[in-house]
Amino acid sequence: MSETGKIFVTGGAGFIGANFVNEWVRNTDGHVVNLDKLTYAGNLENLAEVEGNSRHTFVHGDICDRATVDRLLADHRPCAVVHFAAESHVDRSIHGPDEFIRTNINGTFTLLEAVRAHWVGLDEGARGGFRFLHVSTDEVYGSLHPADAPFTETKAYEPNSPYSASKAASDHLVRAYFHTYGLPVLTTNCSNNYGPYQFPEKLIPLVIRNALAGKPLPIYGDGMNVRDWLYVTDHCAAIRAVLKGGKVGETYNVGGWNEMPNLQIVKEICAILDELHPQSPCIPHASLITFVRDRPGHDRRYAIDARKIEREIGWRPVETFATGIRKTVQWYLEHQDWVANVESGAYREWVSTNYSDR
């Protein structure tokens, strides 16, 4: 797929989507049509880099709104759709699964139907080059024991939360549209992302924010839940690589080869903050670590086998966890105004709801 044409991105004001949009405009000659509902995690400040750029068109809208999606596809005739839009926080899915079903399942279905109608109407050459890339998660695969091999693309799905179940359903819909209708789809299942513009409900930005404020650093259970960590710009590069060289109908796992427990993550962040923020009255920041009651259905371990994407497409992450986490901490230290702006009353209410009884 050419990087000089026009692509349609859903959820492009969120954490991963905004990083992708910024990277696409920065590194290609292509045009991005960016549809985002601007829920609590969608933020136009994430797109300040491309504000006013003629190669970025932002549209405030919902993927569940078929008329809006149809209109954008007809008006802009993109050569690819990159589907990020999703509710993505496990804890929120436990407290309120309704929105996860609506956005992740019904929204993906609405988008697929609109894209299928658009694709069928293209001329033969454009139809052959068109791609629909669905961005998903490793959480659909379930939980691993310590000695288990990492997830491969053929691992059976075993989702354990409303979030992962809704993403698993969307993955199956995307697969079905390839096998039933021939829609040229690609799916990526990524490990835990981190980096700039991540909403501070997730572990890494939450820990940085709380540490800077001298607040407790809440760690679920014993802190030994293991995740593979992927720096967000590496993920963006992987998506571009799959768009360009992925085989239609295939799934590609995207991982960072950085498997470690949550407690170690928090301690590394604290050590970097001790170094970069020596004026803090809370040094050592690790003294703020507080263990809280575990969440229901908390998967013990995720690990991604990302050899297929390296073997078939040649992608491998550039950042180690050591380099990526330092860049992340530095970014949050340098962008505390951004953090303050996203910490709305709704965010404070959410933190109270999720952690007050733990």
CB 112 within 8 A of CB 186: no
Number of domains in the chain: 1
Structural domain of residue 163, as residue ranges?
6-198+228-259+301-318
220 found inside a domain = no
Residue 296: what pLDDT? 87
143 found inside a domain = yes
Which residue among the candidates 23, 62, 87, 139 is catalytic per the annotation?
A: 139
- Is residue 138 annotated as part of the catalytic site, yes or no? yes
187 found inside a domain = yes
29 token code pair: 């000659």
- Is residue 139 annotated as part of the catalytic site, yes or no? yes
334 found inside a domain = no
Name the residue with tokens 């998660």. 137
- Is residue 163 annotated as part of the catalytic site, yes or no? yes
Q: CB within 8 A of 183, min separation 6: which ones?
A: 112, 115, 116, 119, 132, 177
Residue 186: what pLDDT? 98
248 found inside a domain = yes
| Pairing state between β 226-231 and 259-261 | antiparallel
341 found inside a domain = no
213 token code pair: 């404020």
Domain of 39: which CATH number? 3.40.50.720
249 found inside a domain = yes
271 found inside a domain = no
Which residue among the candidates 36, 138, 228, 259 is catalytic per the annotation?
A: 138
Q: What is the pLDDT of residues 165-203, one digit of tens each?
A: 999 999 999 999 999 999 999 999 999 999 999 998 889
How many whole angstroms separate alpha carbon 246 and alpha carbon 342? 36
Write down the pTM of the prediction.
0.93
Q: What is the pLDDT of residues 303-352, one digit of tens each?
A: 999 999 999 999 999 999 999 999 999 999 999 989 888 876 554 454 45
